[in-house]
Chains A and B, each alone.
Chain A
Amino acid sequence: MPPATGSAPSAAVRQGVWVGAATGLYGISFGALSVAAGLSVAQTCALSLLMFTGGSQFAFVGVVAAGGTGLSATAGAALLGVRNAFYGLQTSPLLGARGLRRLAAAQLTIDESTAVAVAQDEPGERRRGFWAAGLAVFGFWNAMTLLGALLGDALGDPRRWGLDGAAAAAFLALLWPRLRQRRARAVGALAALVAVLLVPAAPAGVPVLAAAVVAVLVALLRRPRPEGTAGERGGGPA
């Protein structure tokens, strides 16, 4: 979707494709898990195409597998989807998309596309990173979902291949440039700490959201009068 500026893909595009491949492979687990939970192949593929946000999808089929109601499955999925609304606040001015393209951008607004976008310093690269990661994850995730739904977990447990380690490493690498700033580093560390403390106490989805709210409130309250230090709209390092 973004205009190609040269023959070689930019760093942001390469990162996006790698993230897409690593995340997409998990689709095979999702597809297998969803069918095992009792959903049909069509329902499973519909979740990956239409919901397209991994945490929510795993939450939905998790509730179904445990024999929960459709209402609680829907509520669980929505709770895990709340963070995408916050991502949109940052990616929207960045992309400046209108009309159908804006709807496409919204559908592609997930952890991976946002992380690749904010990892870049230059506005054009941020846009290219968002679209590359979003489209790569969408392609891989949906293809692998279908494969997993039809074949079961053909790869075996993806953890055996270290796929979860790859995902954690990728997100850390994408966050890394932002963590150069002391304030962002403090917010990130506080959010991580609060999230871990909340893991045993709160339902899925809540630790990440609550931790982010706490960390940002602390950061904003500690600096009551920001003067000209805030990032420019859609530009500059965040």
Chain B
Amino acid sequence: MTGWLLLACAACFALKLAGYLVPASVLGDARMADAAALVTVALLSALVAVQTVGGGSAGAGEVVLDARLAALVAAAVALLLRAPFVVVVLVGAAVAAGCRALGWG
């Protein structure tokens, strides 16, 4: 298994490095920079969605509505009220923990 493990680590590093090997002239192109920025927003938005309602540790399988969704909604409300970053994070934690302490999610 150690051989596979090291191969998997190498594959993950190669993927991370790939973005850095694209020439600066390509990445400096306005359309390319625009697309890269949109891709990042799309990836992080999809990630938030899957982390919030995805079942299983890696987010695969089924859609589960639980304390995570309540935490995300509470965080969004905090952001609309212009709460500072740390407060938003603590609200998310408190709402998720509170829901579970009450036996939901």
Chain B residues close to A by CB (< 8 Å): 1-9, 11-13, 15-20, 22, 24, 27-28, 30-63, 67-68, 70-72, 74-76, 78-79, 85-86, 88-98, 100
Q: Which residues of B contact A60 (CB under 8 A)?
A: 5, 8
A62-102 contact mask (Cβ, 8 Å, vs B): 1 or 0:
10100000110110111011111111111111000100001
Q: Which residues of B contact A80 (CB under 8 A)?
A: 58
Q: A111-B44, A216-B35 are in contact. Are A73 and B4 (CB under 8 A)?
A: yes
Interface centre among A11, A172, A230 (most CB of B within 10 A): A172
By the criterion CB–CB under 8 Å, are A231 and B37 in contact? yes
CA distance A81 to B19 in the complex (A): 12
Q: Which residue of A lies closest to B86 (CB)?
A: A18
By the criterion CB–CB under 8 Å, are B50 and A195 in contact? yes
Q: Which residues of B contact A106 (CB under 8 A)?
A: 13, 16-17, 19-20
Q: Which residue of A lies closest to B24 (CB)?
A: A93
Q: A88-B17, A89-B36, A175-B45 are in contact. Are A168 and B9 (CB under 8 A)?
A: no
Q: Which residue of B lies closest to A173 (CB)?
A: B88
A186 to chain B, nearest CB (A): 10
CA distance A114 to B4 in the complex (A): 28
Q: Which residues of A contact B59 (CB under 8 A)?
A: 55, 199, 204, 207-208
